[in-house]
Amino acid sequence: MSYLSCVLRAVTPPHLLPPWRSPRPFSSAMGPTTRKSVPYQKTLKEEGSGSREPCQPPPASAEVVVIGGGSLGCQTTYHLAKLGVTSVVLLERDRLTSGTTWHTAGLLWQLRPSDVEVELLAHTRDVVSRELPAETGLDSGWVENGGLFIASNRQRLDEYKRLMSLGKVYGVESYVLTPSQTKDLYPLMNTDDLYGTLYVPKDGTMDPAGTCSTLARAAAARGATIIENCPVTSIQVRTDDFGVKRVHAVQTAHGTIRTPCVVNCAGVWAPALGRLAGVHVPLVAMHHAYVVTERIEGIQNMPNVRDHDASVYLRLQGDALSVGGYESNPIFWEEVSEKFAFGLFDLDWDVFMQHIEGAINRVPVLEQTGIKSTVCGPESFTADHKPLMGEAPEVRGFFLGCGFNSAGMMLGGGCGRELAHWIIHGRPEKDMFGYDIRQRFPHSLTNNNLWIRERSHESYAKNYSVVFPHDEPLAGRNVRKDPLHEELLQQGCVFQERHGWERPGWFSPRGAAPV
Q: How far apart are the first and last CA of the chain?
A: 62
Residue 36 resides in a domain: no
| pLDDT tens sequence across 348-364 | 999 999 999 999 999 99
Q: Which of 427, 432, 400 is nearest to 73 (CA)?
A: 400
Same domain, 427 and 312: yes
Percentage, residues of the chain above pLDDT 70 = 90
Domain termination residue (choose one: 417, 440, 463)? 440
Domain termination residue (choose one: 381, 415, 440)? 440
Domain tally, the chain: 2
Per-residue three-class SS string for 147-190: EEEEECCHHHHHHHHHHHHHHHHCCCCCEEECHHHHHHHCCCCC
Same domain, 178 and 315: yes
| pLDDT tens sequence across 501-514 | 899 999 988 888 77
Same domain, 505 and 435: no
Q: Which are the contacts of 261, defined by CB distance < 8 A and separation ≥ 6?
A: 63, 64, 65, 247, 397, 399, 423
| pLDDT tens sequence across 379-392 | 999 999 999 999 99
* Segment among 152-161, 184-193, 476-485 with least mean pLDDT: 476-485
* Segment among 5-19, 206-220, 246-260 with least mean pLDDT: 5-19
Domain termination residue (choose one: 419, 440, 461)? 440
pLDDT band for position 446 (50/70/90)?
confident
pLDDT band for position 480 (50/70/90)?
confident
Reply yes or no on whether the pLDDT at 336 is more than 70.
Answer: yes
Same domain, 498 and 359: no
Please state the rounded mean pLDDT for residues 233-237. 98
* Segment among 62-66, 259-263, 271-275, 479-483 with least mean pLDDT: 479-483
Q: How far apart are CA 434 and CA 443, in angstroms?
A: 17
Please state the rounded mean pLDDT for residues 90-109. 96
pLDDT at 30: 33
Same domain, 91 and 211: yes
Q: What is the pTM of this model?
A: 0.89
pLDDT at 84: 96
Same domain, 347 and 491: no
Residue 30 resides in a domain: no
pLDDT band for position 469 (50/70/90)?
confident
pLDDT at 35: 41
Residue 105 resides in a domain: yes
Residue 25 resides in a domain: no
Reply yes or no on whether the pLDDT at 45 is more than 70.
Answer: no
Residue 151 resides in a domain: yes
Reply yes or no on whether the pLDDT at 118 is more than 60.
Answer: yes
pLDDT band for position 445 (50/70/90)?
confident
Same domain, 109 and 213: yes
Question: How high does pLDDT run on average in the chain?
Answer: 89
pLDDT at 165: 97
pLDDT at 471: 86
pLDDT at 19: 31
Same domain, 381 and 506: no
Same domain, 289 and 405: yes
pLDDT at 347: 96
> Where do the DSSP E strands lie in 357-492?
371-382, 388-391, 398-402
* Segment among 177-186, 454-463, 465-474 with least mean pLDDT: 465-474
Q: Which are the contacts of 336, defined by CB distance < 8 A and separation ≥ 6?
A: 268, 269, 271, 272, 285, 378
Reply yes or no on whether the pLDDT at 233 is more than 80.
Answer: yes
Domain of residue 82, residue span: 64-440
Residue 123 resides in a domain: yes
Reply yes or no on whether the pLDDT at 2 is more than 80.
Answer: no
| Sequence letter at residue 32 | P
Q: How far apart are CA 172 and CA 125, in angstroms?
A: 11
Q: How far apart are CA 443 and CA 433, in angstroms?
A: 17
Please state the rounded mean pLDDT for residues 257-285. 97
Please state the rounded mean pLDDT for residues 261-277. 98
Same domain, 365 and 487: no
The enclosing domain of 110 has a CATH number of 3.50.50.60
Q: Which of 436, 430, 420 is nearest to 88 (CA)?
A: 420
Reply yes or no on whether the pLDDT at 162 is more than 90.
Answer: yes
Percentage, residues of the chain above pLDDT 90 = 79
pLDDT band for position 40 (50/70/90)?
very low
Residue 455 resides in a domain: no
Residue 18 resides in a domain: no
pLDDT higher at 54 or 356: 356
Long-range pairs for 155-160: beta carbons < 8 A, 24 or more residues apart? 155/466, 156/195, 156/308, 156/309, 156/466, 157/195, 157/196, 159/113, 159/466, 159/467, 160/196, 160/197, 160/198
* Segment among 81-85, 179-183, 298-302, 441-445 with least mean pLDDT: 441-445
Same domain, 418 and 481: no
Same domain, 377 and 506: no
